[in-house]
A and B are shown apart, each in its own frame.
Chain A
């Protein structure tokens, strides 16, 4: 069990701690000096007391007192240097691991996110990284400190009185053995607590996010029951752990006191027999007192190591998985022009549900600068087709091509820069409207134009600070439609060769939709465009429309042709026109 811990911890240390070696070397040197001083002081004191017993005719005790005072001042320097030298790299490593994790998370793809709740990922970047920091700072310090303190104290004790030293060490060894007995169970309990806490956090987060629904359905009590179940689980594990702590802590304190008992019981008579001096006996008590801190820290250290092992493993679960669909060694540069896209016999199922085929043998040709409409019932695979084309998910075969090139061979970053994909669910960040639209791209004078295109002008004018209004978490300051139109503006503002709108136009009224579509058609540099919509009016002007049903293409053609062909497209068209003849 311990071997596994050591392996995990060492692997991490090699990767992250090596750059800070000079810090640690400095820290160890300062620690060695500190501990050397700490074990020297009792010796000097013993000498002073023994000298006093003899009457101190030469007044050398004053010199010895000055010696001790100087050592005390020296400790101030070495102690602070050692602590700073260990804690600073701990903090630097913490920041580094956080950065690496966040960087990795930004690059992980949808398949990864399908498996991980956001709350879990956030807790890995905070509480787990905390343990990593404890290991790199406090843990490293305590290991070195305990080793040095124990070694130097033992040496000093053996120097003074070897016979007594052995007896004094005995209870310590017993106490540690006792603590080790509990460590595995303790570790299990910590795991249980963490799991219960994670479940609790997830429940709390999801109920706060869904508070509107909970209140609307008077479901507060039902949610409290679910909450209390996890709360009690967490409490049970915490209480068990508290029992262990209540046993281990006092036992370690007991071993410290047993030292003093043995010292008096065995050392007292030795002093009487003159085998050691009174000063040396006192020095022993000081040494025991000094080493009791590092000794107690050993049980704590074991806990830190076990917990950081778990934490490092949890961090590695994010760092280790390959970024899905890594770019090929020599990716082909993405073209800046509107692409000619061919989808040829595309079948697809999500990795988490391989038996559930979402797309079956989809074939469609999308010439450059043309507009493709996608139509189909709820759950027919429309969004999935978009995701495969935009390479949010990798097709298994070379069935999606941009200008004849397998999409999987194209440089992903370049490809993404060419695509303006506006997803069905608008996600806004708690930044200003302006930043939400631009998302880091340059304004280039296009901002005003896209605000007009997305019909956001009057909405923005009504906001307290216009474009610079902070929209709050997930854009709570805006209505559902305003959020979606902001997301639409975000897509339109950047230069793009391929525009993908996933049921976005349902958020704009028909007039805006018509304006937008007209403007896109008349644009000099028309991008290749793919529009998913339930509303036929949004599709009517597309060059061709694909009808998807249960993942299969059941019809393809322009609007005029489809409305004369029996099928769901015509049925829908009829239905949507019904209102006109009331």
Chain B
């Protein structure tokens, strides 16, 4: 198979996986995060920790992240897929109409990416003090879960709906807007240790001078520093693998290039 075909297969393969996961497990991310909320709540009440179905889901996702990095975010998460699809549609329309939407300045991005840790902390504190109902009532994920269950009784969740709409607008302007800036589940994953099995590496000495196509196209703005592209932000989408004109980027132990 030639390179171009391989790249196309990779691109559409990921979209296919995302569609399948969206249809089969649309609330997996919320269920795994429910384990976090539930644990914080139990700690707050002084109760006994239990291994519920949610905890098992969270555990499995953490193990996957430990071995393979955040492939859950990049390939399996339904909400991540929505982030991707909205932005893909938006950039398609921007190309068609020739109008460009304003972009978030590059220098703000590292700061914005830290917001998710504060959101995680805020949710943990709320759950600890037995306010998880309040989180559920205002969470955009609640709206998403209700919609994917085809439940349209959203009247009680107006603030949640408002948040959801704001995030959708953000997703139109910026790729992976929710995931990289606000997702509390992503915050947990990015704090986990990751084995370098699927980490991305770059043969920097072969790079075309001033190219940085990988950085420009990275949805989560990973800074390029030498050969190592390892970062807690990396969602293993593999865009840099397909975009590099020289095929300089490899996944895992140096060999498996696209």
A and B: bona fide binding partners: no
Instruction: Give residues in B with beta carbon < 8 Å to A.
Output: none
